[in-house]
Amino acid sequence: MTVSGKNALVTGGTRGIGRAVVEALSDAGANVAFTFRSSADEAAALASEVEGKGVKALAIQGDAADFEAAGKTIDQVVSEWGSIDILVNNAGITKDGLLLRLKEEDWDAVIGTNLKSVFNYCKSAYRQMMKQRSGKIINMASIVGVSGNAGQTNYAASKAGIIGFSKSLAKELGSRGINVNVVAPGYVETDMTGALSDEAREAMLGSVVLGRPATPQDVANAVLFLASDAAGYITGHVLHVDGGLAM
The pTM of this model reads 0.95
**Whole-number percent of the chain with pLDDT over 70:** 97
Average pLDDT over residues 83-88: 98
Average pLDDT over residues 14-26: 97
Asked if residue 115 has pLDDT above 90, the reply is yes
Instruction: List, by residue number, the catalytic residues.
Output: 155
Average pLDDT over residues 106-123: 98
Residue 3: what pLDDT? 98
Per-residue model confidence as pLDDT tens digits over 191-218: 666 666 677 677 778 889 998 999 999 9
d(CA 134, CA 55): 21
Average pLDDT over residues 77-90: 98
Sheet architecture: strand order including 178-185: 57-61, 31-36, 7-10, 86-89, 135-140, 178-185, 238-241
Strands 238-241 and 178-185: parallel
Query: Where are the strands (E) in 26-130, listed by range?
Result: 31-36, 57-61, 86-89
Instruction: List the domains of the chain with CATH numbers.
Output: 7-241 (3.40.50.720)
CA atoms within 13 A on the CB side of 191: 8
Residue 196: what pLDDT? 65
Query: Where are the strands (E) in 175-237, listed by range?
Result: 178-185
Residue 197: what pLDDT? 67
Average pLDDT over residues 9-23: 97
Q: What is the average pLDDT score of the chain?
A: 95
Determine which of 42-46, 175-179, 207-211 has the lowest per-residue pLDDT on average.
Answer: 207-211
